[in-house]
Amino acid sequence: MLKSIHAALAMSVITLTAFGASSAFAAPLKVVASFTVIADFAKNVGGDRIDVTTIVGPDGDAHVYEPSPADAVAMAKADIVLVNGLHFEGFLQRLVDASATKASIITLTKGVTPIDFKPEFADADAAEAAGTGGGKTVTDPHAFQSIANARIYVKNIAEAFCAADSEGCVSYQTNAAAYTKKLDAVEGEVKAAIASIPESKRVVITSHDAFGYFEHAYGLTFLAPQGVSTDSEPSAADVAKLVNQVKQDKAAAIFVENITNPRLIEQIASETGIKVGGTLYSDALSQPDGPAATYIDMMHNNIRQIKGAILGS
């Protein structure tokens, strides 16, 4: 009897030890994503092996975001922090310092070929307020607006997850490959939609310069009253200059963005006679029940809105 009790106890200890090890092994990676697009990429690569916290949520503007104490707590607990880089997240260094996080900070634009943007401010005060040094060339941080670049983000995420969790590497690589195929399909749809728009009508207006990579990759021209960041208001002279440019270039459509105040766009629409064609998602995804709940949904929504406004379909 005594031997059987000892044997049962020993078996219980072994079982509990194995369960504990299994539970520890199964604990998901704690991942912090700086904004919604990156969070969506991370979920597609990580699946149920990760737990994602997003700093700047749906319809949020990372250019002007002010971190909360809860953000610092999430950063402090993170295993991995995924960020865009290229100065997209103005709050990032403050948050890293405040949280004293020991997490790996992974910049997802590593390997991306950045493009530059030269703002044409009408007055020096506006340039200084925007931090562009009086109209000097600045790097456009919105690299994710090119689907080719999105594939680079996904590759970098998979590599970061593999480095942190080697046991899950095959899973991460498999997920990344499957998601990349979906991105390939969406890019084909975007190219086909733009090919259906006459070249003379491929000029649209948005609130700020978030679509430079989209323009560079797919052949649309975007005009905007604000530069690559939304942290400063364009001057009246800038707006007047854009209105004149729009009249000369015969812009085919004008759009508000989900992260910006529509007032400026409505003013430009009124002065040019161009009807507002809808909402484009630039720096953030929509709420889960909205038209751009995922990156792929965002791309579908944006090209549908652009094509529909220009061609009337």
| 81, 103 Cβ separation under 8 angstroms | yes
* DSSP string covering 40-101: HHHHHHHGGGEEEEEEE-TT--TTT----HHHHHHHHH-SEEEE--TT--TTHHHHHHHHT-
Rounded alpha-carbon distances, angstroms, from residue 127 to 13, 183, 227, 298: 68, 37, 10, 31
Asked whether the predicted pLDDT for residue 303 surpasses 90, the reply is yes
Q: Which segment, 25-39, 180-194, 267-281, is predicted with the most confidence on average? A: 180-194
Tokens of 162: 């593999």
Tokens of 245: 């440019």
- Higher-pLDDT residue of 175 and 274 is 175
Query: Using one digit for the tens of pLDDT, what is the confidence trace for 92-124?
Result: 999 999 999 999 999 999 999 999 975 543 333
Q: Looking at residue 119, what is its pLDDT?
A: 56
* DSSP string covering 160-207: HHHHH-GGGHHHHHHHHHHHHHHHHHHHHHHHHHHHTS-GGG-EEE-S
Q: pLDDT band for 128, please (50, 70, 90 cuts).
A: very low
Cα gap 189→304, rounded to integer Å: 10
Closest CA to 284 of 181, 71, 87, 142: 142
Asked whether the predicted pLDDT for residue 36 surpasses 50, the reply is yes
Residue 82's Cβ-side half-sphere holds a number of Cα atoms within 13 Å equal to 33
Closest CA to 99 of 44, 32, 153: 32
Query: Using one digit for the tens of pLDDT, what is the confidence trace for 211-224?
Result: 999 999 999 998 87
Backbone φ/ψ region at 195: left (φ over 0), alpha (ψ -120 to 50), beta: alpha
Asked whether the predicted pLDDT for residue 33 surpasses 80, the reply is yes
Query: Using one digit for the tens of pLDDT, what is the confidence trace for 52-76?
Result: 999 999 999 998 999 999 999 999 9
